[in-house]
A and B are shown apart, each in its own frame.
Chain A
Amino acid sequence: MAFPKELIRNFCIIAHIDHGKSTLADRLMQLTQTVAERDMEEQLLDSMDIERERGITIKSTAVRMFYTARDGKEYMLNLIDTPGHVDFTYEVSRALAACEGAVLVVDATQGIEAQTLANVYLALDNDLEIIPVINKIDLVSADPENAIHEIEDIIGLPAEDAPKISAKTGLNVEEVLERIVTDIPAPKGDSEAPLKALIFDSLYDNYMGALSYVRVMEGTVRPGDRIRFMHSGSEFDVTEVGVFNPSRLPVRELTAGEVGYISASIKSVAETKVGDTITLANNPAKEPLHGYKQANPMVFCGIYPADGADYEALKEALDKLILNDASISYEPETSQALGYGFRCGFLGLLHMEIAEERLEREFDLDLVTTAPSVIYRVVMLDGSVRMIDNPSNLPSPMEIQRMEEPMVMAHIMTPPEFVGSIMELCQEKRGFFLDMTYLEENRVKLSYRMPLNEIIFDFFDGLKSRSRGYASFDYELGEYEQSDLVKLDFLLNGDMCDALSTIVHRDKAYAKGRAVAEKLQEVIPRQQFEIPIQAAIGGKIIARETVRAVRKDVLAKCYGGDITRKKKLLEKQKEGKKRMRQVGTVSVPSDAFMSVLRIN
């Protein structure tokens, strides 16, 4: 028997990183006895180590809770967790589309941040009921009144009766549950209508294959049904449906208004795309739910094993990684300097960093990553267009009519005292100033049109350091624009090192060339001959450094018969040699390729 729809509440939590989303989710689960205290791992929803360490949620998850409200009725609350980063806006929008309401968590010590605002707007676009909650009121520095003002002034939501809570101590958290029940509408939808289930996430399970996490909007789905993915067109037989409590629990059916998973022996998450609509093959819905789009990688880089012998291991790891994250693209590529590796595409910079970290941590690999690149649009002399995501593949300037680069709309929120230095940063990053608004006395919103290739490097770090961590940042993709771009190459002892080539704006080429050459001079160890390092645009050398020749090895003494030290030193040097890449005659440590990425 289906749970009465009027007693279901589907909601998500919107919060900035560190504002306490996961902690609040934990408290809600505790209060509803969804997890026993002793099973409670800190911040249970974030199941990946990296998420827990970085305090952010990458993959959304869902939890079903039962709560007996003050009206005496038992409600089913489905919490749909959303990823909290700018790279995953589309995933967030689908998770929001699966809900009727959102709990907006604002840190009473910090106020509203740019990404929160972006997500609130997304929620409003999806007609969600928003319940503001002021968190961290147990802290001495808490200023709940200011947070309330910000919510009212910036978002325009009444917030004077927002629950003031401490997710950490549990103070007033029950009030949040009550508000979810009273303020958020019950789901609509007809359980007898043709099935429409929105995929808001997917996950690969070693035993069950790819699972679709769905919100059933219309109709009912049961094991044995033949389902169709309306955008991809593929069909499967349902083997299991279930809910999250928070671990997976099989149920007889999922009907309109409910949240759960569908298992259908699907081999890869690439088949269960977020935003797609699942319907029944023999009684299909007329049209899919709106809002589907294909998530395309925006940022590309080469990923190589630090030890060339690990190529196969890297390939296997990538195969496994995309089982769970279909938004990563990869194809084999070869670099003269780095050997065999892969060109990988990501939704954004954070997405890239997280993928690299997962590869290194979960698959125990040592990686070398080349500088991230965006996709450039190259218009050739004959009018044909090439999309280039690897600087090494850029055609000769002689054949190019013009080059275009992708732009973004960047929104930065900051306390007013940092506006000056942030504007400077944006200018340095070739930003076009669009707008500056005082959202309220203590918060300014800056809007810039900026090249994506400028923000994929160190924009975020720069922003944080110039605002002592107070500024926050969000962007959306814009159009391609013509730009005066050049390919910057580096030569080591006369041999070009393809893995170091980057595409930069002509005005920045000299400074960048000099900075990278200097850095290389630091990180390339002295060898038995002198190594000239040159930065070049086309054939023209724009900067030069030299690594002087080393004259002698360190002559280790043999200490009173202790030869183990000497042996260890040699072993270490031998291991170090394995991590060296040969660029022509020059041995370059794998780390060197990474360290040149971190140049200010």
Chain B
Amino acid sequence: MSGLYIHIPFCKRKCRYCDFVSFPDFASEDIYFVALIAEMRKYAPLMRGRGFGTVFIGGGTPTCLKPGRIAAMLDEARKCFDIAPDAEITSEANPESASEEKLAELFEAGVNRLSIGLQSANDLELARIGRIHSRADFERALAFARRAGFTNINADVMHGLPGQTCESYLNTLRFVTELDIPHISSYALILEEGTPLYGAVKEGREELPDPDETADMEDAGFAFLAENGYGRYEISNFAKPSFECRHNLNYWDNGEYLGIGLNSHSALRLKGEWTRFCNTAVLSEYVSELGEGKLPVRDTRRIERDEEMFESIMLGLRKTEGISRADFEARFGVDPVTHYAPAVSELELDGRLIVTEERMYLTGAGLDFQNEALIKFMES
């Protein structure tokens, strides 16, 4: 089954660390959706015979759109694509715009998983990274979500934020676990070039915790989540049993997905060839090309088998259960353990990788240095 990603590039205000394609240009909302629907229709014949097991509406902030927008969009998606009746349909939401009506509408429209951007339960930390909601806004949004019928809920949190301490990060996690949210994504803040936060840090106007403090937060926080019944199933993702995100698991299994919307990415096997491409990141190009009946595709790349194999390693080793040797062999005709023998034996020897009859996966120490492990695979 394939995944379907739909990008909503609108936000009330851009967060200081964010480098996604999003902007507060609501004047373009109508025209954007005309184009988005045109894009889905354009893909419809190409996707015939392909089943979609998951849909992910990401952003941006999908909850800041006009009423009825998401429902109309999902209706159209169902017309264009073969979306399984039991599909996992996720929408991202931000606390400040996740009103009672909005969340009810999403649920009505068939969204059955909600991913709420909390980032921190400390209002001062939130302000410093330019979030426009409070801890209380999140609590309210969560109550609305549950009232609307959502049970499959994720909270995004971050560590390594300006002003954050180990204690305050643990308070955030405690807050989320006590609210009994079944899925938590906890990412370390990455300072992306070109963001306001990046500029502030470079100019010394803002300071991040040093890498050791961030590592301490991570160790303490992840231990806390484990104690509270959240399984780490991917480097940064934790879930109560059976609440793992199927859409993301498809990415990490190096599965096929179609991206719709501005700057969305796709990976599809086309005429037998593994192919990656993305859409333009420029709104005017996106709109005008679809207006002319063209797909606004950029950077189409046919991926060679060796690279496809490495992608499977790179993505698969993000998961704590790692890679299924049989699945890998079924896809590529080789056992990853023999194909990458030098890297595998070196990492095994260092206690970073475990190989069983069925699988190979990184240990905790291996996940701490995943990049280094991957470079060994690249070189072997």
Contact = CB atoms under 8 A, between A and B. Distances in A.
Interface of A: 526, 528, 548, 550-564, 566-567, 569-570, 573-574, 577
Nearest to B373: A553
Contacts of A563: 251, 265, 267, 276, 311, 314-315
B342 to A, nearest CB: 15
A553 B370 contact: yes
A3 B188 CA distance: 81
Contact of A557 (B56, B236, B257): B236
Given A561-B251, A570-B378, 9 more contacts: A556-B371, A558-B252, A558-B318, A559-B20, A561-B3, A563-B267, A563-B315, A564-B278, A569-B371
B127 interface: no
Contact of B257 (A553, A555, A561, A574): A561
B220 interface: no
B104 interface: no
Contacts of B218: 552
Given A567-B314, A570-B374, A548 B188 contact: no
Contact of B368 (A552, A560, A562, A564): A552
26 contacts: A526-B211, A548-B212, A550-B211, A552-B211, A552-B215, A552-B368, A554-B190, A555-B188, A556-B371, A558-B315, A558-B318, A559-B20, A559-B265, A560-B5, A560-B56, A561-B3, A561-B264, A561-B266, A563-B265, A563-B267, A563-B315, A564-B278, A566-B314, A570-B314, A573-B375, A577-B375
A566 to B, nearest CB: 7
A376 to B, nearest CB: 43
B172 to A, nearest CB: 18
A395 to B, nearest CB: 41
B365 to A, nearest CB: 10
Contacts of A567: 311, 314
Nearest to B185: A557
B379 interface: yes
Contacts of A569: 371
Given A555-B235, A555-B236, A556-B190, A561 B368 contact: no
A590 B251 CA distance: 37
B187 interface: yes
User: Nearest 9 CB-CB pairs, A to B?
Assistant: A551-B215, A553-B371, A561-B265, A552-B368, A562-B265, A553-B369, A574-B375, A552-B215, A560-B58
B233 to A, nearest CB: 14
Interface string B290-331: 000000000100000000000100110010000000000000
Most buried by B among A528, A555, A561, A563: A561
A562 B372 CA distance: 20
Contacts of B56: 560
Nearest to A566: B314
B378 A574 contact: yes
A561 B259 contact: yes
A357 to B, nearest CB: 29
Interface of B: 3, 5, 7, 20, 56, 58, 187-188, 190, 211-212, 215, 218, 235-236, 251-252, 257, 259, 264-267, 276, 278, 299, 311, 314-315, 318, 368-372, 374-375, 378-379
B369 A560 contact: no
A558 B369 CA distance: 16
A561 to B, nearest CB: 4
B371 A562 contact: no
Nearest to A560: B58
A574 B377 CA distance: 11
A194 B378 CA distance: 71
B212 A551 contact: yes
Contacts of B251: 558, 561, 563
B371 A561 contact: no
Contacts of B211: 526, 550-552
B370 A555 contact: yes
Contacts of A551: 211-212, 215, 368
Nearest to B307: A567
Nearest to B311: A563
Given A553-B372, A570-B374, A570-B378, A560 B264 contact: yes
B23 to A, nearest CB: 16
B11 to A, nearest CB: 14
A441 B118 CA distance: 72
A528 B7 CA distance: 39
A567 B313 CA distance: 12
Contacts of B252: 558
Nearest to A564: B276
B190 A557 contact: yes
A142 to B, nearest CB: 41
A74 B145 CA distance: 98
Contacts of B379: 574
Contacts of A526: 211
A559 B5 CA distance: 11
B371 A573 contact: yes
A560 B259 contact: yes
A555 to B, nearest CB: 5
A552 B364 CA distance: 11
Contacts of A552: 211, 215, 218, 368-369
A558 to B, nearest CB: 6
Nearest to B7: A560
A563 B276 CA distance: 10
Nearest to A569: B371
Contacts of B259: 560-561
Contacts of B374: 570
Contacts of A550: 211
A552 B211 CA distance: 8
Contacts of B266: 561
Contacts of B276: 563-564
A524 to B, nearest CB: 15
A577 B314 CA distance: 18
Contacts of B311: 563, 567
Contacts of B5: 560-561
B218 to A, nearest CB: 7
